[in-house]
Amino acid sequence: MALIKKPVTGMKDILPAEMEIRDYCISVIKKTYAEFGFQSIETPCVENIANLTSKQGGDNEKLIFKILKRGEKLKLESAQSEADLVDGGLRYDLTVPLVRYFSNHQNELPMPFKALQMGNVWRADRPQKGRYRQFMQCDIDIIGEPSNLAEIELILATTTTLGNLGFKNFQIRINERRILKAMAAYSGFPEDRYTDVFIILDKMDKIGLDGAAGELIEEGFTEEMRDRYVSLFEGLQSAQDQLAYLEEKLEGFIESDVIPQLREVMESVDGTKTADFKIVFDPTIVRGMSYYTGTIFEIAMPELGISCGGGGRYDGMVGKFTGKDVPACGFSIGFERIILILMEQGFQIPGRPVKKAYLIEKNMPADRLCEVIRQAQKERAEGTQVLIARMAKNKKFQKQQMAERGFEQFEEFYRNPISK
């Protein structure tokens, strides 16, 4: 019986053309983030199952690839629950591993700590275009900075990176979890039902304000609660200054410094940005992760109708490991979607070295072969990419295939240099 050639469902093989773009993007990302003072780290792909199921990851905790205990610890016959069988899982994001890493090494790390982490994560999700079960994430985080300097630096670093990759006319949509809670409190929703309200709010871009109003009633909320909530959004639609409008309406329901600090983030980013984008307040952004405590933001590409990353502040997460809260904020680029967009747009790597192919005659004597290799080595040292390959019978087709792989120049070498 033949072995299976295709990769496991939801995972993919990466061909050289895509890999070349991925490697280029990784190099740009790392270089740009390093300019902002972020340091690369790496964490294991496997985490303790208790960390992964600590109610920090929202719906992602339902998508964990769990790992059976190994060796003598695995006792299938006597197992009475999943806890008897499983002790680890593949990470579903990079934030939980980062916080564990920081908690374990904080005495060895600078404060604040600016971390860059790139690596694969795994989710047992339903595969679709641009969504896989194994995919690369690209995160930057600042741990130990309580002020909104963290948000400003994260947004500027991420947008500068996207600009360096050639992206324009995108948006950073920003909100605040405390604004979301204050709007819910103003409307009279019970605090233990805020999550239900936010789930409906998160769908507003698809179902509209009327659709959201209908779902609030279906969830059992009163018409009075619904009307007060809807009135906030209707007021926002006509307000010239949305933040000033909310500051007035939510007085007594929100800390006095929340909205001024959010305004400061937006004005600071807008006044110092180098990439071509807009930062806009969006009161419908929720972000599904339950660990967010403050500012939240997303990368939106309106021309393409998709989002390509997001993040926010999660000040209470380190305390889950150490017993003492440490301020933390992070931003993740949707690496796979970025690659998909560039591939579909026919992206060409700028400043790519010349690619040259040496086609050599078969059965070439050793001394002649060494002569050709020495010439290739000289050109490689000068920055040219040189491929040495045996000459095929159909040279025209061989060169055509190589040209499709980006080779621009060809030289032919024969056993006898004179007959070249």
Question: What is the domain range of residue 389?
Answer: 355-419
Q: What is the structure's pLDDT at 356?
A: 94
Which distant-in-sequence residues (6+ apart) come within 8 Å of 348 by Cβ?
Answer: none
Q: What is the structure's pLDDT at 420?
A: 45
| Statement to judge: residues 129 and 196 lie in one domain | no
Domain of 81, CATH number, reads 3.30.930.10
Rg (CA), the chain: 27
Q: Do the Cβ atoms of 320 and 293 come closer than 8 Å?
A: no
Written in H, E and C, the secondary structure of the chain is: CCCCCCCCCCCCCCCHHHHHHHHHHHHHHHHHHHHCCCEECCCCCEEEHHHHCCCCCHHHHHHCCEEECCHHHCCCCCCCCHHHCEEEEECCCCHHHHHHHHHHHHHHCCCCEEEEEEEEEECCCCCECCECCEEEEEEEEEECCCCCHHHHHHHHHHHHHHHHCCCCCEEEEEEEHHHHHHHHHHHCCCHHHHHHHHHHHCCHHHHHHHHHHHHHHHCCCCHHHHHHHHHHHHHHHHCCCHHHHHHHHCECCECCCHHHHHHHHHHHHHHHCCCCEEEEECCCCCCCCCCCCCEEEEEEECCCCEEEEEEEECCCCHHHHHCCCCCEEEEEECHHHHHHHHHHCCCCCCCCCCEEEEEECCCCCHHHHHHHHHHHHHHHHCCCEEEEEECCCCHHHHHHHHHHCCCCEEEEECCCHHHC
Rounded Cα distance between 132 and 136, Å, is 10
| Statement to judge: residues 77 and 138 lie in one domain | yes
Q: Do the Cβ atoms of 52 and 44 come closer than 8 Å?
A: no
- Quick check: is 3 in a domain? no
Q: What is the structure's pLDDT at 369?
A: 92
| Statement to judge: residues 145 and 77 lie in one domain | yes
- Quick check: is 126 in a domain? yes
| Statement to judge: residues 53 and 139 lie in one domain | yes
Q: What is the structure's pLDDT at 326?
A: 95
| Statement to judge: residues 344 and 385 lie in one domain | no
12-17 long-range contacts (CB < 8 A, ≥24 apart) are: 12/132, 16/405, 17/405
Q: Could you list the mean pLDDT of each consecutive 10-residue stretch along the chain, which spans 420 residues?
A: 90 92 96 97 95 80 87 69 81 94 96 96 86 93 96 97 94 95 94 89 87 90 92 91 94 94 97 95 84 92 83 93 95 93 90 90 90 94 93 92 90 75
| Statement to judge: residues 278 and 220 lie in one domain | yes
| Statement to judge: residues 199 and 237 lie in one domain | yes
Bond into 112 cis (ω within 30): yes
| Statement to judge: residues 175 and 151 lie in one domain | no
Looking at the 3D structure of the chain, how many domains does it have? 3
- Quick check: is 225 in a domain? yes
- Quick check: is 2 in a domain? no
| Statement to judge: residues 368 and 267 lie in one domain | no
- Quick check: is 264 in a domain? yes
| Statement to judge: residues 45 and 181 lie in one domain | no
| Statement to judge: residues 151 and 177 lie in one domain | no
| Statement to judge: residues 290 and 336 lie in one domain | no
- Whole-model pTM over 0.75: yes
- Quick check: is 388 in a domain? yes
- Quick check: is 4 in a domain? no
Q: Do the Cβ atoms of 297 and 155 come closer than 8 Å?
A: yes
Q: What is the structure's pLDDT at 404?
A: 86
- Quick check: is 289 in a domain? yes
